[in-house]
């Protein structure tokens, strides 16, 4: 399958827009996520929020902490807890590689995007380093300068 077809098969549900503002993203990778039935239905309706969520390795497993998925509005009393910790699905060797990078360099794991590919929910995780406030100001100034250049080119 070509890269163009892969992009077409990817239906983005939620993005963490603040991730690129608050962190320097060094690398990204795809993981699966273990969901309950009503969570999948809510995700398909884009009823989720990645703000303030992160991933960590606990007891040899990768967990997503703080992701909010709204309860399914047509559900019943068996609806899920919106803020529950969710297990991320990765191969063991990937998990070991991630753990080494996170511990060694003081990096963190941040979810960037939630999407469906071939009807399977996936999360794009980023290995990231936190920005200081002066770095954020530099990012804003750089973005504004690029915007001005595009504006001048457009006129």
Q: How many domains does the chain have?
A: 1
- Residue in this structure with the two tokens 């997503």, named with its chain if needed: 64
Burial label, 72 (beta-carbon count in 10 A; 0-12, 13-18, 19+): buried
pLDDT at position 145: 87
Residues 101 and 93: their CA atoms lie apart, in Å, by 13
pTM recorded for the entire structure: 0.77
pLDDT at position 1: 46
pLDDT at position 76: 66
pLDDT at position 130: 82
- CATH number of the domain at 106, please: 2.40.280.10
Domain range for 67 is 3-154
Three-state secondary structure of the chain: CCHHHHHHHEEEEEECCCHHHHEEEEEEEEEEECCCHHHHHHHHCCCEECCCCEEEEECCEEEEECCEECCCCCCCCCCCCCCCCEEEECCHHHHHHHHHHHHHHCCEEEEEEEEEECCEEEEEEEEEEECCHHHHHHHHHHHHHHHHHHHHHHC
30 forms bridges with which residues in the sheet? 124
Residues 21 and 102: their CA atoms lie apart, in Å, by 20
Q: What is the mean pLDDT of each run of 10 residues along the chain (155 residues)?
A: 60 88 88 88 88 91 92 72 89 91 84 93 91 79 86 77
pLDDT at position 33: 94
pLDDT at position 155: 66
């Amino acid at each position: 399958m070509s890269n163009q077809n892969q992009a077409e098969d990817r239906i983005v549900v939620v993005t963490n827009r603040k991730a690129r503002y608050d962190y320097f993203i060094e690398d990204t990778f795809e993981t699966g996520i273990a969901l309950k039935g009503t969570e999948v239905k809510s995700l398909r309706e884009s009823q989720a929020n990645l703000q303030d969520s992160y991933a960590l390795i606990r007891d040899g497993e990768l967990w997503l902490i703080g992701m909010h998925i709204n309860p399914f509005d047509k559900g019943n009393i068996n609806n899920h807890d919106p803020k529950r910790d969710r297990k991320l699905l990765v191969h063991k060797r990937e998990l070991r590689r991630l753990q080494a990078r996170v511990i060694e360099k003081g990096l963190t794991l941040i979810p960037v995007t939630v999407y469906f590919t071939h009807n399977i929910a996936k999360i794009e995780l980023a290995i990231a380093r936190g920005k200081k406030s002066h770095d954020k100001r530099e990012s804003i100034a750089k973005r504004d300068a690029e915007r001005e250049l595009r504006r001048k080119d457009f006129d």
